[in-house]
Structure 1
Amino acid sequence: MKAYRLLTEEDTSAFCHKVTEALNKGWVLHGSPSYAFDASTGKMRCAQAVTKEAEGDYSPEVKLGAL
């Protein structure tokens, strides 16, 4: 199966660490990162899609972060 995740975080080093951790677990960048203002918090947020080939079949019970 091909798994997809959208990683999001405030615009801090925590976002870079989240993406770096995913890459080191075998996830691959998918597309360009996004950067937007979150009016509810007054802060900028980042997003990056990642994909990964994983064994097994997809089901809604799959814990994507555990792949």
Structure 2
Amino acid sequence: MSQPPDNLPVYRLLTGPDDTAFCHRVSAALALGYVLHGSPALAFDGQRIIAAQAIVWPPETNSSSD
């Protein structure tokens, strides 16, 4: 598949509290075919830890040989 499903963007930054729901969102994106882009980031908002993870849709690769 050359484009993400459901008109999703090629680049996405997933953010949210660092909890099970956030991990499930990242896992669901990986299951669709996205790949991680860089390391996750964490911040503290005064009450909880907020996580961010960039994901990208991998470019289509041509494996044809000439």
Q: Is the partner of 1:31 in helix, strand or coil?
A: coil
DSSP 3-state at the match of 1:32: coil
For normalisation by structure 1, the TM-score amounts to 0.69
Q: Which runs of 5+ in 1 are unaligned?
A: 55-67
Q: Provide TM-score, normalisation by structure 2.
A: 0.70
User: Which structure's CA Rg is the greater one?
Assistant: 2
How many residue pairs get aligned? The number is 53
State the alpha-carbon separation in 2 of the partners of residues 24 and 9 from structure 1. 19
Indicate whether 1:34 and 2:47 are aligned. no
Structure 2 regions of 5+ residues with no counterpart?
4-8, 60-66
Amino acid at match of 2:42: Y
Q: Which is strand-richer, 1 or 2?
A: 1
4+ residue runs over 4 A deviation:
none
Please point out which of 33, 39, 55 is paired with 1:50: 55
